[in-house]
A and B are shown apart, each in its own frame.
Chain A
Amino acid sequence: AQKVTQAQTEISVVEKEDVTLDCVYETRDTTYYLFWYKQPPSGELVFLIRRNSFDEQNEISGRYSWNFQKSTSSFNFTITASQVVDSAVYFCALSRSGGYQKVTFGIGTKLQVIP
């Protein structure tokens, strides 16, 4: 069985602060994908990143960075210099690689960036 845990249900930060969203996962698969999605108030899930379990390199994309540590089954997401537009619910997710692709989501972390 697959499971994704996002222990932080809500986080508030002041604009320009850095914030890290935690994600811990469980899977028996040896190969898998990890994802982060953003869900603004409009409701549409916006794809942010996919990480293959083979690749433990950290990734940076603008103000976003991801820290994948297979040893601790964690895939944390950091926003640097947060902005009001970053306010949304962020979901960490997990799927098997190969075969059909059921995606298991965490409960989400609601991020509020205060101006």
Chain B
Amino acid sequence: DAGVTQSPTHLIKTRGQHVTLRCSPISGHKSVSWYQQVLGQGPQFIFQYYEKEERGRGNFPDRFSARQFPNYSSELNVNALLLGDSALYLCASSKKDNEQFFGPGTRLTVL
């Protein structure tokens, strides 16, 4: 079975731009979570979606938003990019309340 997939793998943007990151969960998993991992730190929780509904939100500004589609894939959107948004963005999928399996991540660089 395919694991969690994310696209793109790498992305370079400039300050003020908008970015959309995509995630496809493992087949049969209905929950998707997003994490931001800044260099040298552990991943920080951004959002969790289950059955297309937001189930949790971390301490991130409103510039960050996400949604989940009927096929359980998900998008993370970040508006008005700042230099500090440069990070590895990880998507994880899980069955409800089970362990999370992570994708390879999207490395975002903001110049």
Chain A residues within 8 Å of B, Cβ to Cβ: 4, 33, 35, 37, 42-47, 50, 91, 93, 97-108
Report the bound CA distance from A61 to B81 in whole Å: 43
Q: How large is the interface on B (under 10, 10 to 19, 20 to 34, 35 or more residues)?
A: 20 to 34
A105, B43: Cβ atoms under 8 Å?
yes
Chain A residues in 8 Å Cβ range of B90:
45
Chain B residues in 8 Å Cβ range of A102:
33, 45, 48, 56, 58
B104, A44: Cβ atoms under 8 Å?
yes
Chain A residues in 8 Å Cβ range of B58:
102
Interchain CB contact (< 8 A) of A101 among B31, B40, B101, B104? B31
A41 to chain B, nearest CB (A): 12
Report the nearest A residue to B3, measured CB to CB: A44
Chain B residues within 8 Å of A, Cβ to Cβ: 31, 33, 35, 40-45, 48, 50, 55-56, 58, 88, 90, 92, 94, 97, 99-105, 107
Report the bound CA distance from A105 to B105 in whole Å: 16
B97, A97: Cβ atoms under 8 Å?
yes
A42, B42: Cβ atoms under 8 Å?
no
Report the bound CA distance from A37 to B97 in whole Å: 17
Report the bound CA distance from A44 to B97 in whole Å: 21
B105, A43: Cβ atoms under 8 Å?
yes
A43 to chain B, nearest CB (A): 5
Report the nearest A residue to B102, measured CB to CB: A45
Given contacts A100-B55, A102-B56, contact A47 B99 (CB under 8 A): yes
What are some 10 contacts across the A-B interface (CB < 8 A)? A43-B107, A45-B43, A46-B102, A91-B42, A91-B43, A99-B97, A101-B31, A101-B33, A103-B33, A103-B100
